[in-house]
């Protein structure tokens, strides 16, 4: 039996017994909040919160991986997006569904406009607006970006576009220079998710299933405490 079939069976059993998952979400008093925009990316690069840099908010950095996307690699290893770099985004740092209205995942974020390392490892509840109203992504901030605007969340979605840094997915997964699909918008349909390595396909599918293929939905956001399930993936914790 395929894992997916087993999972569906398990999920329906859970529903039958009324145990659909509703984790506690704990707002941080006085935390980051406001309205924001989203984009999507998966550039395979080591995320910037994966470094120990004194000026960042990192206590323990985001775990980064060797080229197989599985084996953890030293936090001082150079990013696979740089010449001779060997550190990549770990495969499991993609979004997953918790229940029909909630997913967990990871974002690059900027509140200042530009690369904003002061918020590494914090978590935000992104409440989607418009057609996705009522759906949420509880995300840990694992990355930054010089091309990000104020209150901008770039959601880590495999096949969501490789963006500015083209070496990562080429050296890790042997993609063409444009990665999967368009370098900015990524693959155009869920069918094209099959072009990705199997291990990255669930996160690619998530865009067309949980996010219903909606292009870069707007959000309202509130800082919340990071759930243990997210920290278990990244090992990323903040100084403050
Ligand atoms: C999903 O979990 C959230 C957080 O616990 C909860 O508020 C929401 O009602 C749940 N949604 C469903 C459809 O179970
Ligand atoms: C929202 O942010 C403002 C500062 O911009 C802060 O004063 C307020 O306490 C925050 N609200 C919540 C609910 O965290
Ligand atoms: C990488 O892709 C090229 C072109 O598709 C192919 O010829 C080559 O065999 C691939 N290499 C590996 C290691 O998969």
Instruction: Specify the CATH number for the domain of residue 154.
Output: 2.40.40.10
Nearest CA to ligand 1 atom 5: 22
Instruction: Please tell me the distance between residue 175's alpha carbon and the centre of ligand 3 in angstroms.
Output: 8
The arithmetic mean of pLDDT across residues 163-169, rounded, is: 94
Q: How far apart are CA 9 and CA 172, in angstroms?
A: 34
Nearest Cα neighbor of 135 from 206, 87, 184 is 206
How many domains would you assign to the chain?
1
pTM score: 0.91
Q: State pLDDT tens for residues 104-116.
A: 999 999 999 999 9
Q: Cα separation of 176 and 181, whole Å?
A: 10
Count H helices, E strands: the chain? 4, 12
Q: How many CB atoms lie within 10 A of CB 137?
A: 27
Calpha distance 144→46 (Å, rounded): 11
- Distance (angstroms) between ligand 1 centre and the Cα of 37 equals 23
- Indicate the pLDDT class of residue 4, thresholds 50, 70 and 90: low
Q: Is the CB of 18 under 6 A from ligand 2?
A: no
- Residues in contact with ligand 1 (CB, 6 Å cut-off): 20, 22-23, 25, 99-102
Bridge-based pairing of strands 123-128 and 219-224 is: antiparallel
Tell me the ligand closest to 99's alpha carbon: 1
Radius of gyration of the chain (CA): 17
Q: What is the pLDDT of residue 61?
A: 96
Domain membership of residue 174 as a residue range: 3-238
% of the chain exceeding 70 in pLDDT: 92
How much distance in Å is there from the Cα of 173 to the middle of ligand 3?
9
At 174-189, the pLDDT tens digits run 999 999 999 999 999 9
**Alpha helices, DSSP H, located in the chain:** 3-16, 167-173, 201-208, 228-234
Angstrom distance (rounded) from CA 50 to CA 236: 8
Catalytic residues: 43
């Amino acid at each position: 039996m395929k894992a997916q079939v087993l999972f569906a069976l398990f999920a329906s059993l859970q529903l039958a017994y009324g145990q659909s998952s509703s984790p506690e979400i704990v707002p941080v008093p006085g935390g980051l909040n406001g309205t924001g925009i989203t984009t999507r990316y998966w550039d395979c690069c080591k995320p910037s919160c994966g470094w120990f840099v004194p000026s960042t908010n990192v206590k323990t950095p985001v775990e980064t991986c060797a080229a197989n996307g599985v084996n953890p690699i030293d936090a001082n290893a150079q990013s696979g997006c740089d010449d001779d770099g060997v550190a990549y985004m770990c495969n499991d740092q993609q979004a997953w569904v918790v229940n029909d209205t909630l997913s967990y995942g990871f974002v690059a974020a900027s509140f200042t406009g530009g690369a904003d390392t002061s918020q590494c490892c914090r978590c935000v509840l992104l409440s989607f607006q418009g057609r996705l109203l009522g759906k949420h992504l509880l995300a840990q901030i694992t990355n930054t970006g010089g091309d990000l605007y104020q209150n901008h969340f770039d959601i880590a979605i495999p096949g969501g576009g490789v963006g500015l840094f083209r070496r990562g997915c080429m050296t890790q997964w042997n993609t063409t220079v444009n990665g999967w699909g368009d370098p900015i918008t990524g693959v155009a349909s869920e069918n094209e998710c099959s072009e990705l390595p199997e291990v990255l396909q669930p996160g690619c599918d998530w865009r067309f299933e949980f996010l219903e293929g909606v292009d870069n939905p707007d959000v309202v956001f509130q800082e919340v405490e990071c759930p243990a399930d997210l920290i278990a993936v990244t090992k990323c914790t903040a100084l403050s």
